Structure 1
Amino acid sequence: MHIALPPEMTAPAVQQVFAALEAAGGAGCVRFVGGCVRDVVMGRTPGDLDLSTQLTPDATEVALSAAGIRHVPTGKAFGTITAVIEGQPFEITSLREDVETDGRRAVVSYTTDWSRDAQRRDFYLNALYADIRGEVFDPTGQGLDDVQAGRVRLIGDAETRLREDYLRILRFFRFSASHGRGLDEASLNACVALREGIDSLSGERIQQELFKLLSISDPVNVVQRMIETGVMAHVVPGAPVNAERVVAGFHLTSDAIQRLIILIGGHGRAEVLNALIQRLRLPNRVADRLSAAAAAYAEADVRASLPALRRWLYRYGRQALSDALVLRVAETRLSPEAWKTLDQNLKQIDVPVFPLKSARLISVGLAPGPELGQTLRRIEADWIAHDFSPIVIEDAIDAIAKQANIRGQ
């Protein structure tokens, strides 16, 4: 099969890399591999341009050096050298076959056989190669058929593929959501049977796959099956996941963090949330957002009045309140239209700013000290209770000034 390569796959930098490697290993010793080939065949825009070569990592480095191309041994132990041209990276991986695996990493040996390299990959539709001229190679004989059918299948014996790397369980669901038309039964059954293997994966690897899944435009059916089959319980252990909440909530937002909030729910105890944050090794910005949403969730109500929304905005901030309310909407099964109206109302409300400073109170006669802080907090609470009315503050200042005058007389 021949395909018309898009401009990004025939750019001068790409041609430089191909020319450098072919000068050392001969024509055809390097090919595009995996996702970029798959996506072009499917009529999609390719992502990262990954390359495979018959050259060993050492030979790859020599070839790049001879052509004056900067390179970094980013994953040399696993066969990967990254060429960098004008800031653009190209991962170049030598053809490999697995010698030994433990479910997390593999010991590999190098080969010049494209078929052997293809057999160690995860899915048939990812085991496609293409040369710089657009000729597509399908060593398994099933990759192109699966691309055309929108079928995501593990190569060969499904359980064997998963035992080589349990992350493939999560990748199966992600690719089924992004590139599949349904879930392949044999692959699904293997994922369910070996779902406990997810527990052996690092939090970082799980987190990355989970956010990629949640960022897909419509992952609802796949996430629902993950919950129903018990797979999701190993992805977000301890969280009160609920398929109905996912179905109702995921269509409300495309924000991956809000979808995570909908997925894990708001009824879990603080220690459950903290354990999940640690298990997934979530970045501080994500962990803080989840914690803030959990605090706002305790008060948030989708039927709230404008004064209540203003009060919560002041207390929790716009992002935390939005995150908490989208979860509440998912739980109460409100329509997307109702959420859109609520969200628009939220965006139109200005977050109040407490205008009173201690200097103002000192200027009207209140002495610095513990009483000053207590008075500020009392006035602030009264200001919030009266829907942020400036009159409350002015009345309080007048009362303090009068009291100071009385004391001074």
Structure 2
Amino acid sequence: MGDLILPEAAWRRRAGMDRLCEVLGTDAARFVGGAVRDTLLGLDVADVDLATELPPEDVLDHVRAAGMKAVPTGLAHGTITVVLPDGPVEVTTLRRDVATDGRHATVAFTRAWEEDAARRDFTINALYADPVSGTVFDYFGGVDDLAERRVRFIGDPLKRIAEDHLRILRFFRFQARFGAEVDADGLAACTVRANDLMALSRERIAAELLKLLLANRAVPTVRLMIKQGIFRPVLPEITNVDRLATLVDREIGAGIAPSAIRRLAALLPPEAAIAEDVGARLKLSKSDRRRLVSATFPAGTEPPQAIAYTLGTDLAIDRLLLSDRPGADAQAIGDWQAPRLPVSGGVLVERGVRKGPEVATLLRTIEAEWVRAGFPDKDQLDGIVAAALDQWRRDSSNA
């Protein structure tokens, strides 16, 4: 420990970062967790966390006295969010667990770095770095595990899962993102304790699952989870990974960014009632639930732009990629901007249509034909409007 130096990275040069570390005391604060792990892997870093020996109240006082904005986002657990010009940094006092129940932990603050490391879930997440020298501190072999792409619990996996049941899903999420060969002890513990997931809030389950589905190795990881019965206690509908595998290949082939909701839809039987039930169970947002349900319907045979005009781009891409239509159909609407119907109700009124429901009905007829014709130019649209008005006049005279 102490031989490895954290590589230079853009996030270390963010405005205010050096000043924050000085305020906390460079001998009393270290970068920790994902920022250290991902920098060692050469990956981009979004979120930055600092661990400190200072009590949270002192962190607040020091940061505010330096003229920085500090928000006590998790004071009871020792977390202060410091708002820097390039984004927030979470500063958390070193902690040790006093009591756990599988969902929540009661903590006590400590000044021992190894105690703080020992309460973290996996060795690759318990890496610290000196903010000045970049020296990496590794108490549980995380650097070696990172080199081997091994996701390994700190200590006894069964004990760590008993402390926080969500670690079952986190084990697989990190496996999907970083893992190569699966750690046998961790896998065995997750399999034995899979029923513990039933004690978790569905929001926490959804958050982990949706992150997992975006990872590079989502398909083999989900396949392993199905084989080990991990989903059975909370999402028994997930029994096959084949549609997800096909979808991932189609996303890549079409050059379309993955969507966690689209990928979740691929894991479920294509039935609206099932999608609605799962969306409600996971307490997804209304828009995500609507998207999940929409993805169960077939793409149909209309041109891709017509589908996108009716459903919106995201929902249209979902249906096209989950169908057996060519990937080029989804590509065709990736950057497509739906036009607006260049005909208003006022134009119809000027041409003799009575104000009221008839205008709206006629507009819908014109719009449907305009979409079917592929959003033609003004001359062809004028013909569509004229034909619709002629039909309206015939119908009105026969009424």
TM normalised by structure 1 equals 0.81
Report the CA distance between 1:158 and its aligned residue. 0.2
Distance 1:169 1:357, change over 3 A: same
In 1, the alpha carbon distance for the partners of 2:336 and 2:95 equals 58
Corresponding residue of 1:266: 270
In 2, the alpha carbon distance for the partners of 1:348 and 1:78 equals 44
Determine if the alignment matches structure 1 residue 101 to structure 2 residue 100.
Answer: yes
Determine if the alignment matches structure 1 residue 74 to structure 2 residue 76.
Answer: no
Matched residue SS, 1:210? helix
Choose the corresponding residue for 1:279, options 266, 281, 284.
281
Corresponding residue of 1:15: 18
In 1, the alpha carbon distance for the partners of 2:197 and 2:294 equals 28
In 2, the alpha carbon distance for the partners of 1:45 and 1:314 equals 36
Map 1:2-401 to 2 at 5 A.
2-3=4-5, 4-11=7-14, 13-22=16-25, 28-86=27-85, 88-132=87-131, 133-140=133-140, 142-234=141-233, 237=235, 239-253=237-251, 254-267=258-271, 269-270=272-273, 272-294=274-296, 297=297, 299-301=298-300, 304=301, 306=303, 312-313=307-308, 315-329=310-324, 339-345=326-332, 394-401=386-393
Report the CA distance between 1:156 and its aligned residue. 0.6
Report the CA distance between 1:18 and its aligned residue. 2.0
**Structure 1 letter corresponding to 2:249:** H
Q: Unaligned stretches of 5+ in structure 1? A: 330-337
In 2, the alpha carbon distance for the partners of 1:247 and 1:5 equals 37
In 2, the alpha carbon distance for the partners of 1:159 and 1:111 equals 25
Per-residue displacement from partner, 1:42-64 (whole Å, max 9, x unpaired)? 23333322111122222323333
Distance 1:359 1:251, change over 3 A: same
In 2, the alpha carbon distance for the partners of 1:17 and 1:182 equals 39
In 1, the alpha carbon distance for the partners of 2:390 and 2:364 equals 17
In 1, the alpha carbon distance for the partners of 2:23 and 2:247 equals 50
Give the number of the structure whose alpha-carbon radius of gyration is greater: 1
**Structure 2 letter corresponding to 1:239:** E
In 2, the alpha carbon distance for the partners of 1:135 and 1:45 equals 19
Distance 1:311 1:156, change over 3 A: same
Larger displacement relative to structure 2 (191-200 or 55-64): 55-64
In 2, the alpha carbon distance for the partners of 1:65 and 1:262 equals 48
Distance 1:319 1:39, change over 3 A: closer
Report the CA distance between 1:32 and its aligned residue. 1.1
Distance 1:405 1:35, change over 3 A: closer
Per-residue displacement from partner, 1:155-202 (whole Å, max 9, x unpaired)? 111011111111111111111111211321111111121122222222
- The 8 Å contact of residues 162 and 168 in structure 1, kept in 2 or not, is answered as yes
Larger displacement relative to structure 2 (377-386 or 131-140): 377-386
Report the CA distance between 1:358 and its aligned residue. 5.8
In 2, the alpha carbon distance for the partners of 1:66 and 1:354 equals 57
In 1, the alpha carbon distance for the partners of 2:309 and 2:43 equals 44
Matched residue SS, 1:162? helix
Per-residue displacement from partner, 1:107-138 (whole Å, max 9, x unpaired)? 01111111111111100111111112111111
Bigger fraction of residues in helix: 1
TM normalised by structure 2 equals 0.82
In 2, the alpha carbon distance for the partners of 1:225 and 1:341 equals 31
- The 8 Å contact of residues 277 and 287 in structure 1, kept in 2 or not, is answered as yes
Distance 1:282 1:401, change over 3 A: same
In 2, the alpha carbon distance for the partners of 1:394 and 1:128 equals 71
Matched residue SS, 1:342? helix
Q: Unaligned stretches of 5+ in structure 2? A: 252-257
Aligned length: 384
Report the CA distance between 1:91 and its aligned residue. 1.2
